[in-house]
């Protein structure tokens, strides 16, 4: 068995026993990247030199008996919208193509304390705006289960890298499904934590009231381990919650007896692919066999969440992206006579088509005459959606839905119709609107051999129940015996 095939918790065990070194693990990953990434194209940049140097230092420290973290020397991939000091953070945009981060994101500071090794920065839809990673200004990423299909997005590079074993785990960010949907389409585990559990400092902002950083991992245990490392209050992000630090591995318990799971009927009905629906019903049946009760319920207002999302997210984005003016950092046009030209031409040349579309939509819904009808109304509907969840969580511990209405779609299938692309998020978006935690767990393959994922939605700051249920499912199923085939990609 190659080192890149192990989960992180297996690697940690082997490191502790002295069976392997960080240098061996790290080299195994760079060899794998060289073998596979010319087809998958998950990495925007790799950090081989600094990674190998760091791995060697950790090995020497371990050998000398110095106290090191148990994760010291474990490699990780980072979505290219999180700042690592001294390295490029591009957001897969021409606007930030040459931007070198002058500081570390808080999640990176936390990983540095544990001496993790950075393999590189992972591809994404430009500024995290998209559901397929086709909106990257550099190149699209391909799905390792079928190279002619998308990996999902916007954290498509992170999910594809973990699925194709080019990283043992990775960080993604999720504004409307950008961790969970690609995790589902690539057959890996993706968690969007409760809004406020993980600091957003140093994450390039898309929609600040919705963005959250979270783990993309091979299994549920690694997800708990990585959440342990990155969660916690940060004074640099006033929306991060002050609360007692939890150890999520304590929730890795193989038992769901007595747990109450709601199955909102709207997400197993119209618009959901028949094979996906069947897979979700099979998961529900499995939970019942394992001692949980699963009951059909309703979240009628959920059907408005996607419309609310595109109003609120684009409004926030149009404001957040106002900072890109060609003056202090980022792309500056060569074509200008005055200051106004710098602003307009830098933005027009630096942003890609989807980013411009969302800035225009966001500017429109915030503009005089439309603010009340769109933005204000959407924020009120957001409250109604939150209340809808509150009602359901009076009765249920968790909600179960598909993560994505379909399995991975073909490259270029949805790029010409933005609205159709937006509807790829219908199952994931409501969770961000309400600020709740959600985890996508792989549960099978469709008849084309493409992964299907189910989504577990928990109460606010109750990641524990999600971990417990996801772990129980994983221990009683065998998805990880399936491996990506890397088929297709001839065209």
Partner 1 sequence: MAISKEEIIHIAKLACLNLSENEIEKYTKDMQEILEFANTINNVNTEGMNETIAANEKSNVLRKDEVVDFGNRDALLQNAPSQDEGMFRIPKVIN
Give the residues lining the site for partner 1 (CB under 8 A).
85-86, 98-100, 102-103, 195-196, 209-210, 235, 238-239, 241, 301, 304, 306-308, 310-311, 318, 322, 325-332, 336-339, 342-345, 347-348, 351, 353, 356-357, 359-361, 363-365, 367, 374, 376-384, 386, 418-419, 422, 435
**182 versus 326: smaller Cβ distance to partner 1:** 326
Stretch (H or E) spanning 52: helix 48-63
**383 versus 485: smaller Cβ distance to partner 1:** 383
- Nearest approach, Cβ of residue 7 and partner 1 (Å): 31
- Nearest approach, Cβ of residue 465 and partner 1 (Å): 19
CA distance 284 to 399: 10
The residue annotated as part of the active site, out of 36, 79, 286, 414, is 79
Q: Please report the DSSP string for 150-214 in residue order.
A: ---SSSHHHHHHHHTTSSSEEEEEESSSTTHHHHHHHTSEEEEPPTTSB--TTBPPS-TTT-EEE
**69 versus 239: smaller Cβ distance to partner 1:** 239
**277 versus 357: smaller Cβ distance to partner 1:** 357
CB 470 within 8 A of CB 484: no
- Nearest approach, Cβ of residue 40 and partner 1 (Å): 30
The HSE-up count of residue 56 (CA atoms within 13 Å, CB side) is: 6
Handedness of CA 317, 215, 176, 458 (dihedral sign): negative
The residue annotated as part of the active site, out of 92, 154, 173, 231, is 154
**206 versus 351: smaller Cβ distance to partner 1:** 351
Instruction: Identify the CA nearest to 32 among candidates 2, 52, 71, 11.
Output: 2
- Nearest approach, Cβ of residue 323 and partner 1 (Å): 11
CA distance 406 to 452: 8
Q: Please report the DSSP string for 228-288 in residue order.
A: HHHBS-BTTBTTS-------GGGG--S--TT-EEEEEGGGGSTTS-HHHHHHHHHHHHHHH
Catalytic annotation present for 154: yes
- Nearest approach, Cβ of residue 380 and partner 1 (Å): 4
Catalytic annotation present for 178: yes
**201 versus 473: smaller Cβ distance to partner 1:** 201
**277 versus 344: smaller Cβ distance to partner 1:** 344
The residue annotated as part of the active site, out of 93, 136, 173, 178, is 178
- Nearest approach, Cβ of residue 388 and partner 1 (Å): 10
Angle at 403 between CA 280 and CA 78, to 5 degrees: 140
Q: List the strands of the sheet with 438-445, edge to edge.
A: 43-46, 117-122, 75-79, 169-174, 212-217, 189-192, 438-445, 451-458, 398-402, 260-264, 293-297
CB 210 within 8 A of CB 165: no
Strand 260-264, strand 293-297: pairing: parallel
- Nearest approach, Cβ of residue 394 and partner 1 (Å): 18
Handedness of CA 182, 184, 186, 192 (dihedral sign): positive
CA distance 317 to 290: 43
Residues carrying an active site annotation: 79, 154, 178
């Amino acid at each position: 068995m190659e080192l890149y095939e192990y989960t992180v918790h297996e690697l940690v065990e082997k490191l502790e026993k002295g069976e392997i070194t960080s240098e061996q693990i790290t080299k195994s990953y760079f060899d794998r990247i060289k073998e596979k990434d010319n087809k998958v194209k998950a990495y925007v940049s790799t950090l081989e030199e600094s990674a190998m140097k760091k791995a060697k230092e950790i090995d020497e420290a371990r050998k000398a008996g110095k106290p090191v973290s148990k994760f010291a020397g474990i490699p990780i991939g980072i979505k290219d919208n999180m700042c690592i000091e001294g390295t490029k953070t591009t957001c897969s945009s021409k606007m930030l193509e040459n931007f070198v981060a002058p500081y570390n994101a808080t999640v990176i500071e936390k990983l540095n304390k544990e001496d993790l090794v950075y393999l590189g920065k992972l591809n994404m839809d430009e500024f995290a705006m998209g559901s397929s990673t086709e909106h990257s200004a550099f190149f699209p990423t391909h799905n390792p289960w079928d190279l002619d299909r998308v990996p999902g997005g916007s954290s498509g590079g992170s999910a594809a890298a973990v699925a194709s074993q080019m990283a043992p785990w990775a960080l993604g960010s999720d504004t409307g499904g950008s961790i969970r949907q690609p995790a589902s389409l690539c057959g890996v585990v993706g968690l969007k934590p409760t809004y406020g559990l993980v600091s957003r400092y140093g994450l390039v902002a898309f929609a600040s009231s919705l963005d959250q950083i979270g783990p993309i991992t091979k299994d549920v245990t690694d997800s708990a381990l990585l959440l342990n490392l990155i969660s916690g209050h940060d004074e640099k992000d006033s929306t991060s919650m002050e609360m007692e630090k939890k150890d999520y591995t304590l929730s890795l318990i193989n038992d769901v007896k007595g747990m109450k799971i709601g199955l909102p009927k709207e997400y197993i009905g119209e618009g959901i692919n028949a094979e996906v629906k069947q897979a979700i019903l099979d998961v529900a049946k499995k939970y019942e066999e394992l001692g949980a009760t699963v009951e059909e319920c309703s979240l009628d207002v959920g059907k408005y969440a996607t419309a609310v999302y595109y109003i609120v997210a684009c409004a926030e984005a149009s404001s957040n992206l106002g900072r890109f003016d060609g003056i202090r950092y980022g792309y500056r046009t060569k074509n200008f006579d005055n200051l106004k030209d710098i602003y307009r031409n830098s933005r027009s040349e630096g942003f890609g088509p989807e980013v411009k579309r969302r800035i225009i939509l966001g500017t429109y819904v915030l503009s005089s005459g439309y603010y009340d009808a769109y933005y204000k109304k959407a924020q009120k509907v957001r409250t109604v959606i939150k209340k809808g969840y509150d009602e359901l969580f009076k009765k249920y511990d968790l909600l179960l839905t598909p993560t994505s209405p379909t399995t991975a779609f073909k490259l270029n299938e949805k790029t010409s119709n933005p609205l159709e692309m937006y509807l790829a998020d219908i199952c994931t978006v409501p969770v961000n609107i309400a600020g709740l935690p959600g985890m996508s767990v792989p549960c099978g393959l469709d008849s084309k051999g493409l992964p299907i994922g189910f989504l577990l939605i928990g109460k606010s700051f109750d990641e524990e129940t999600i971990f417990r249920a996801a772990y129980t499912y994983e221990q009683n199923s065998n998805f990880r015996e399936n491996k990506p085939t890397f088929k297709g990609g001839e065209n």
